[in-house]
Amino acid sequence: MADTLAYKINDALAVCWAAAQGDLQELQRLVAGGIDLNAADYDGRTGLHLAASEGNLNIVTFLVKKNVNINPKDRWGFTPLIDAKRGNHKKIIEFFEKNGGKA
């Protein structure tokens, strides 16, 4: 059981790190390895949250095309759209609004 939890934590950290860095190749590698792109860190933040926060439109687009949950809430109740708004990432805000993102 502890091993399973460790894998889930590692999965979440790998996805979040790659998304925050804008590393599309790493995300593609993780997908090929069967990782869950909806994995969340200890604060409930997903790769989509981090990509939106950092202004990585290509990563946001990739993740949404991979059918991740577009409206996950972190421990503070923030969605990726809220994170994009907080960072004033206009193209990402528009993308979320056209694709069902909610604040």
Q: What is the pTM of this model?
A: 0.91
Cα separation, 12 vs 32, whole angstroms: 15
| H/E segment holding residue 90 | helix 90-98
Contact between residue 18 and residue 60 where contact means Cβ atoms under 8 Å apart: no
Closest to 101 measured CA to CA, from 17, 91, 13 = 91
- SS3 call for 103: coil
Task: Kindly report, residue by residue over 61-94, the tens digit of the pLDDT.
Answer: 999 999 999 999 999 999 999 999 999 999 999 9
4, pLDDT greater than 70: no
Question: Can you spell out the DSSP letters for 38-78?
Answer: T-B-TTS-BHHHHHHHHT-HHHHHHHHHTT--SS---TTS-
- Domains of the chain by start residue, with CATH: 2-98 (1.25.40.20)
